[in-house]
Amino acid sequence: MPPNILHSSSNRDPLSSNLRAFSQQLTDLTLADITIGAEFFWPSAASQTSDSLSPHWPHLTSLTINYTPITPSGQWLFERDPNEEEEEIEWGEDPALYMEEDELPAPQDQLVNAFRKKASPELMNAFYVAVGKAAGKMPVLRQMWLAASTGTRLSHSFQYTATATSASVCWRSMPLFEPSEEVLDVWKEAARKNLEVDLEVSCVEGY
């Protein structure tokens, strides 16, 4: 299992919460190969106090995050697809054929947990609720791209695109990930609040 990197006494995620505070000053932010939690987008119950102010990103127009498929508390965001037949995994080409040496994962990490393809409904829906709450506080956001990679391949992505007159969200994954009604309600509210438009939603299986 992955390590738990939460603050031991408060159960807070200091990296995600401090990045959240920093990001509220920005117009554009890109993060890559990072273990990040829902607390980057919205404060957890453990970190909120009676006088806490809701986060607000008044200038942020673009957010891109490529994150590792684990939570800061040490949980896997993906699990084995129960509909997938048990079979020997084909690893394909050696990643060293198309990746620079300094980009390669350690040999012991290249093939670990490659069977984890299905997004965990509980964890991923909680994650996207937090993301949607944050989007409601990003009035000029025009592009958001969130993607998780397992091993050396992209396995799950989310894209939000907005113009002055439209807003859309799209989840891509294999197998198909379908967000909960709570997730959709939060995102629809964000589109109405920021742009006064109806949100277009799509879920795509595969890439």
**pLDDT above 80 (res 94):** no
Report how far residue 194's alpha carbon sits from residue 136's, in angstroms, rounded to the nearest whole number.
7
Residues 6 or more apart whose CB falls under 8 angstroms from that of 196 comprise none
Dihedral of alpha carbons 135, 139, 140, 142, sign = positive
- What's the pTM? 0.84
The one-character DSSP state at 27 is S
pLDDT band for 85, please (50, 70, 90 cuts).
Answer: low
Report how far residue 110's alpha carbon sits from residue 131's, in angstroms, rounded to the nearest whole number.
29
- 44-71: b or e for each residue (b if 16 or more CB lie within 10 Å)? beebeeeeeeebebeebbebebbbebbb
Count Cβ atoms within 10 A of the Cβ of residue 194 and give its class: 0-12 exposed, 13-18 middle, 19 or more buried.
Answer: middle
Strands (E) across the chain are located at: 28-34, 62-67, 78-80, 116-119, 143-150, 153-162, 167-173, 199-205
In the chain, the percentage of residues whose pLDDT exceeds 70 is: 82
Residues 6 or more apart whose CB falls under 8 angstroms from that of 51 comprise none
Give the model confidence (pLDDT) of 170-180 as tens digits: 999 989 999 99
Report how far residue 20's alpha carbon sits from residue 58's, in angstroms, rounded to the nearest whole number.
13
Q: Give yes or no for a contact between 136 and 189, defined as CB atoms under 8 angstroms apart.
A: yes
The position carrying tokens 């990930």 is 177
Report how far residue 77's alpha carbon sits from residue 71's, in angstroms, rounded to the nearest whole number.
7
Whole-number pLDDT of residue 88: 45
**pLDDT above 90 (res 92):** no
Please provide the distance, in angstroms rounded to a whole number, between the alpha carbons at the two ends of the chain.
28
Which range is least confidently modeled, 36-40, 77-81, 101-105?
101-105
Reduced to 3 states, what is the DSSP secondary structure of residue 173?
A: strand
Q: For the chain, how many residues are written?
A: 207
Whole-number pLDDT of residue 5: 82
The one-character DSSP state at 138 is -
pLDDT band for 65, please (50, 70, 90 cuts).
Answer: very high
Residues 6 or more apart whose CB falls under 8 angstroms from that of 165 comprise 195, 197
pLDDT band for 89, please (50, 70, 90 cuts).
Answer: very low
